[in-house]
């Protein structure tokens, strides 16, 4: 059996996934679309499509976990007034 905790690619993907979900939560979303997150992480369309009906709830349990993972730093980042995003 593969030990994912020692796999740097798994750890990177998990970190990016939590960052994406944190941004969604900060912007008022209460759920994350699994297939869409998989696509953002580079999963091929055929495989990601299998998860298009799945959602992850971004509730108080997510907030607690995000706090434990130190995602609150990401939440405090503000875009300066007048910034154009391309």
CATH number of the domain to which 40 belongs: 1.10.10
Structural domain count, the chain: 1
Q: Tokens for 40?
A: 């953002």
Q: Phi, psi at residue 63, to the nearest 5°?
A: -60, -45
Both tokens assigned to 83: 């910034």
Of residues 69 and 38, more confidence is placed in 38
In a domain, 8, yes or no: yes
Q: What is d(CA 45, CA 38) in angstroms, rounded to the nearest whole number? A: 9
Q: What is the pTM of this model?
A: 0.72
Does residue 83 belong to any structural domain of this protein?
no
Task: Write out pLDDT tens, residues 10-52.
Answer: 888 888 898 899 889 888 899 999 999 999 999 999 999 999 9
Joined tokens for residue 43:
């999963």
pLDDT higher than threshold 60 for residue 76 = no
Domain that holds residue 21: 4-72
For the chain, how big is the Rg over CA atoms in Å?
Answer: 15
Which pair of tokens denotes residue 24?
Answer: 């969604």
């Amino acid at each position: 059996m593969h030990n994912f905790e020692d796999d740097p690619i798994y750890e990177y993907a998990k970190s990016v996934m939590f960052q994406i979900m944190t941004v969604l939560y900060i912007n008022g979303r209460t759920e994350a679309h699994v297939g869409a997150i998989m696509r953002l992480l580079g999963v091929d369309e055929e495989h990601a499509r299998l998860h298009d009906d799945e959602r992850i709830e971004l509730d108080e349990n997510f907030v607690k976990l995000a706090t434990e993972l130190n995602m609150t730093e990401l939440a405090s980042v503000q875009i300066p007034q007048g910034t154009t995003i391309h």
